[in-house]
Amino acid sequence: MSEIRRIGILTSGGDCAGLNAAVRAVTLHASGNRGWTVVGIQKGTLGLLSRPLQYEVLDPNRFTGELLRRGGTVLGTTNKGDAFDYPMPDGSRIDRSGEIIEGYRQLGLDALIGIGGDGSFAILRRLAQQGGIRLVGIPKTIDNDVGSTETAVGHASAVAAATEALDHLQPTAASHDRVMVLEVMGRDAGHIALSAGIAGGADAILIPEIPADLAHVAAKIQALKAHGRNFALVVVAEAVRTETGEAMRQAAGETASYGGIGQWVAARLEEMTGAETRVAVLGHIQRGGTPIAQDRLIASAFGVHAVDVLAEGRHDRLVAWRNRTVIDVPLEDAIRTYAAVDLEGPLVHTARSLGISLGDGVAMT
Ligand code: F6P
C-alpha of residue 186 to centroid of ligand 1, in Å? 7
With cut-offs at 50, 70 and 90, classify the pLDDT of residue 29: very high
CB atoms within 10 A of CB 53: 16
Predicted local confidence at residue 250, as pLDDT? 83
Question: To test ligand 1's pocket by mutation, which of 19, 187, 248, 285 has the most ligand atoms within 8 angstroms of CB?
Answer: 187
Q: Where in the chain is the domain with CATH 3.40.50.460?
A: 157-288+343-353
Given the CA of residue 238, which atom of ligand 1 is nearest to it?
8
Per DSSP, helices labelled H in 227-313 are: 261-273, 285-288, 293-311
CA distances from 17 to 287, 291, 292, 296, 297 (A): 6, 5, 8, 8, 12
CATH number of 6-153+291-322: 3.40.50.450
Using DSSP's 3-state secondary structure scheme, residue 290 falls into coil
Q: pLDDT by residue (tens digit) across 302-340?
A: 999 999 999 999 999 999 999 999 999 999 998 999 999
pTM to 2 decimals?
A: 0.97
Q: How many CB atoms lie within 10 A of CB 104?
A: 22
233: three-class secondary structure by DSSP:
strand
CA-closest residue to ligand 1 atom 8: 187
Is the domain 157-288+343-353 a CATH 3.40.50.2300 member? no
pLDDT tens digit sequence for 30-53? 999 999 999 999 999 999 999 999
Helix/strand/coil percentages in the chain, nearest 5: 40, 20, 40
Mean of per-residue pLDDT scores for the chain: 96
Residues designated as active site = 143
> DSSP labels for 190-221?
-HHHHHHHHHTT-SEEE-TTS---HHHHHHHH
CA-nearest residue for atom 14, ligand 1, is 14
Ligand 1 pocket list (CB less than 6 A): 14, 79, 141-143, 185-187, 238, 252, 257-258, 287
The answer to whether 302 and 25 are in contact (CB under 8 A) is yes
Dist CA 308 CA 102 (whole Å): 26
- For position 81, what pLDDT does the model report? 76
Whole-angstrom distance, CA of residue 260 vs CA of residue 247? 9
Mean pLDDT of 6-22: 98
Which pLDDT band holds residue 256 (cuts at 50, 70, 90)? confident
CB hemisphere CA count around 101 (13 angstroms): 17
- In the chain, residues under CATH classification 3.40.50.450 are 6-153+291-322
- To test the ligand 1 pocket, which listed residue (15, 73, 79) has its Cβ within 8 A of the most ligand atoms? 79
